[in-house]
Amino acid sequence: MIVPYELKYRKALIEICWRTGFYGKDLTGTDLFHDKEVFALCFCLHYVEFAPELAYIALDETGKAIGYVLGAADTRAQKASFVSTMLPRIGRHLFFNTFWIDREDYLKMRAWAQSRKRPRLDEEFLLHYPAHLHINLLPGYQGQGHGTALMAKLLEEFKARGVPGVHLGTNSANEKAVPFYKKLGFELLDEKPGDMWGAGGDLKSLVFGKKL
Ligand SMILES: CC(C)(COP(=O)(O)OP(=O)(O)OC[C@H]1O[C@@H](n2cnc3c(N)ncnc32)[C@H](O)[C@@H]1OP(=O)(O)O)[C@@H](O)C(=O)NCCC(=O)NCCS
């Protein structure tokens, strides 16, 4: 079942974000990163504060939150809000918590946060694909149609708001997401070398888009 996001799902959101954070795989036990809270501040929590009406949760038959899709209809506005409201929070968290827990985590997230100030797509692309989204399902619940259902719900909401197109970012290392987006009619708009986790190989940061 797909339901609108509510505050009671915040903890689940943080967990799902973490358990899919390593190019779609679980960060638990990888030793790549340790501060779950700052990871969520960077990758998911801003969306439910900025546009809660564009956040949906997938529940299993017991009512457990197993996945989410988070959207921003106007990427430029979301990014401006992220930079002015969330980056300072991330900075404070990094300085007062992460820095003292794990210096490597601190350096990784500081570099990522800085990179967020630069646009992922140029202005021309944003005219055609102004919205963007993030979608993640817990391990064990993938490949069962929940992603397709979450995506359909959000794309319907975007269309109802007159959004002409949507884009998203992923990595060539993500073996599930790339075929998933292609199957749903997303086209590759941009690719450049990108390996946030230093996994090695010829990894690429990919941007996909779909006209609505
Ligand atoms: C990517 C993700 C959202 C897809 O959702 P899902 O519920 O697993 O996908 P669905 O079951 O709706 O599958 C739809 C289509 O996607 C593709 N797909 C899904 N899982 C796949 C896999 N493991 N390998 C190859 N293709 C896959 C298939 O084309 C599938 O169609 P089919 O069932 O007719 O073969 C989900 O697998 C996930 O959360 N993965 C981990 C986190 C992640 O990578 N998020 C995206 C970050 S950019």
**pTM of the model as a whole:** 0.94
Distance from the Cα of residue 151 to its chain's centroid = 13
The percent of residues above 90 in pLDDT, for the chain, comes to 69
- Which tens digits make up the pLDDT trace of 102-158? 888 888 887 877 776 666 667 788 999 999 999 999 999 999 999 999 999 999 999
Q: Record the tokens describing residue 49, joined without a space.
A: 């504060």
Distance from residue 17's CA to the centre of ligand 1 (Å): 16
Distance from residue 112's CA to the centre of ligand 1 (Å): 26
Q: Which residues pair with 206 in a beta bridge?
A: 170, 191
**Which CATH superfamily does the domain covering 2-211 fall into?**
Gcn5-related N-acetyltransferase (GNAT) (3.40.630.30)
Q: Residues 56-69: what's their mean pLDDT? A: 98
Q: Record the tokens describing residue 32, joined without a space.
A: 């790549």
Instruction: Among 44, 57, 142, 205, name the best residue to mutate to test ligand 1's pocket (greatest count of ligand atoms within 8 A of Cβ).
Output: 142
Q: With a 6 A CB cut-off, is 170 part of the ligand 1 pocket?
A: yes
Supply the DSSP symbol for 208.
E
Domain boundaries defined on the chain? 2-211
Cβ distance 165 to 212 under 8 Å? yes
The predicted pLDDT at position 32 comes to: 82
The predicted pLDDT at position 35 comes to: 86
The CA distance from 181 to 170, in Å, is 10
- Collapse the DSSP code of 15 into the 3-class scheme (helix H, G, I; strand E, B; otherwise coil) and give the result: helix
